[in-house]
Structure 1
Amino acid sequence: MRTRVRTPDPARRTPGPFVVDECRECGHAFQNPRITAQAMAARDTRGRPDPSVERALGARGIRRRHQAAARAMLPYPEPESWLDVGTGHGHFPETAREVHAYTSFDGLDATARVQRARAAGRIEEAHQGLLTDPEIAGRLRGRYDVVSMFHHLEHTPDPRAELRAALDVLRPGGHLLVEVPDPACAFATLLGSWWVAYDQPRHLHLMPLANLERELRTRGCTVVATDRAAPHVPYDLTGALCLALVRRRARSTLTRACAPLLAAASALDVGLAPLLSRTRFSNAYRIIVRRPAKIRAASSA
């Protein structure tokens, strides 16, 4: 292994840095040591990032990316049922319904936001909890034609268990759609600890595309599509600037003295996105796989 980055706690709630190590052989990066479950709960690590950072970054074309992800499933049989894992407030199902008008969208989330999503009519069924929970997994087994995970897998302590559970709730021949940050992104090297996608301590794992493909193929899945362009989120330069301000306890400047600088960084991120998304500077990728009739057990190595 090698240490990929050391990053301070942006909220200054714990002493010392968070460390992201990387396997030299396969490129898998992970938080080491991992934050404890108690600390994760106390920090609400599955919730939103620092509010000042979030306000500065804004939505960054999230509706456009949701539409692109929904359209990515058009070449395949029209799904009757779709489960969005880590759905939050249900904004993806709400947008995807415009593309798949005859699909029933359900949502799963660890927080009560999924109940509010159902109350708002964005999803039909709300499942609060973890997909790896035996009770939830048993209840949902074999129910869905599509399972989607948008920037969810990197938050989980055991990505293999999440993938196994996702395949279990799919029907044979169903599709799993995953979008995650790309640790091979050139911005990670260029910006170091200022790369916003490290998002410590919330991101526990950063998986190269080849690793995820290999893991799913090991389980008998067929990789039907990959995409590094459409999932790119244009926030790298703006995020680095926000992190610099937050770490220096200059949060109030995010909306005052530094507003012109933030606006310039944002404009640069957005303006360069059409070009950068087609290069190694793309910061995320999408993979779509088809579930086999029978899932093979994978090695625990």
Structure 2
Amino acid sequence: MSSRPRPIHDPRRDDCPWCGSKRLRTRLRSPDLRHRRPGTFVVDECRDCAHAFQNPRLTPEGLDLYDVQGAVPFSRRRLLATARTMLPFPEPESWLDVGTGDAAFPRAARELFTYTAFDGVDPTPRVERARAAGRLDEAHVGHLPNLLPRLRARYDVVSMLHHLEHTRDPRAELTAALTALRPGGHLLLELPDPTSAFATVLGKWWHPHDQPRHLHLIPLPNLRAELVARGCEIVATDRRTPHTPRDLSTAATLYLNRTPLRRAAPPAIMFATALDHLLSPALSRTRFSNAYRLIARKQRT
């Protein structure tokens, strides 16, 4: 007799997973706009702390079913710009990139940190292929919280670039990252900014909403307060340079590909792409910026 299939959603919760408040509102309902797999997903928002989260949340089986991947493709230029933010600090001996995928970020960062050993963590076998290709010194398949304690206090830098939004428990990921850091080491984080004005203007078509792949959207003040409460020093925050100019082009792509106009989509998407890049220098300095970066230093013991 076949076993009963496991549920793909957790029970719907009536409180905020970040602050515990029961003052929730529905931020949006969305199908899988990217891959068009069945289902409608709800993102709720806390009226008190502004944390946004998928509710009900996908179970691990649901994540496997929808093939949720954490690595986001960025240009080499963008990856180098992110790595360059660590140049003011002492050159790290060891660096762990979490959710590294094909290790595009360590590959770019090596150009600036030639004496640093780069390791990577990813739930997929791609991380092993990246090590075989020479992009990583060590590859770890799995989720960082499950790889402790053998990675405890091994790294001078731990980076999580557009990773936390894909995780079922961001706080557990932060705990694991700080555990993997040596005292005085740095945590480098980049996340989509749920307070971006584009989120309101574009709604479900805004690419960081990206259901069902994004489980949590964490406002910068929440993340900063969380790390300070854990004894970290916030050494840098930036809402300007992490902005990625693709809000309009991605929204146009997602919308037009679901309509009879999809055959005429390429010119419209090209126009939206050009507009994204034309407006980016100005929008990145306003509430339309779509991402933020935070660098925190772990306290010395």
Superposed counterparts of 1:118-157, under 5 Å? 118-133=131-146, 136-157=147-168
Structure 1 runs of 4+ off > 2 angstroms? 9-15, 245-250
CA distance in 2, matches of 1:247, 1:36: 27
**TM score, norm. by length of structure 2:** 0.89
Does 1:259 pair with 2:266?
yes
Superposed counterparts of 1:103-252, under 5 Å? 103-133=116-146, 136-248=147-259
Identity %: 62
Q: Which runs of 5+ in 1 are unaligned?
A: 50-58, 295-301
- Residue matched to 1:54: none
Which structure ranks higher in relative contact order (CA pairs < 8 Å, sequence separation ≥ 6)? 1
**TM score, norm. by length of structure 1:** 0.89
Q: Which has the higher helix share?
A: 1
Does 1:90 pair with 2:103?
yes
- Structure 1 pair 171–227 and aligned structure 2 pair: CA distance change class (3 A): same
State the 1:92 CA deviation: 0.4
State the 1:259 CA deviation: 1.0
CA distance in 2, matches of 1:137, 1:147: 14
CA distance in 2, matches of 1:37, 1:140: 23
State the 1:48 CA deviation: 7.4
Q: Which runs of 5+ in 2 are unaligned?
A: 1-23
State the 1:109 CA deviation: 0.4
Tell me which of 278, 281, 297 is aligned to 1:290: 297
- Residue matched to 2:38: 14
Match of 1:74, SS state, is coil
- Residue matched to 1:276: 283
- Structure 1 pair 192–177 and aligned structure 2 pair: CA distance change class (3 A): same
CA distance in 2, matches of 1:124, 1:260: 43
CA distance in 2, matches of 1:249, 1:14: 20
CA shift digits 1:98-140 (9 cap, x unpaired): 111111111110000001111111111111111010xx11111
CA distance in 1, matches of 2:260, 2:136: 39
Kept in 1: contact 2:193–2:218 (CA 8 A): yes
- Structure 1 pair 147–249 and aligned structure 2 pair: CA distance change class (3 A): farther
- Residue matched to 2:13: none
CA distance in 1, matches of 2:292, 2:131: 28
> Which one-letter code corresponds to 1:145 in the other structure?
D
Number of residue pairs matched by the alignment: 277
CA distance in 2, matches of 1:172, 1:249: 57
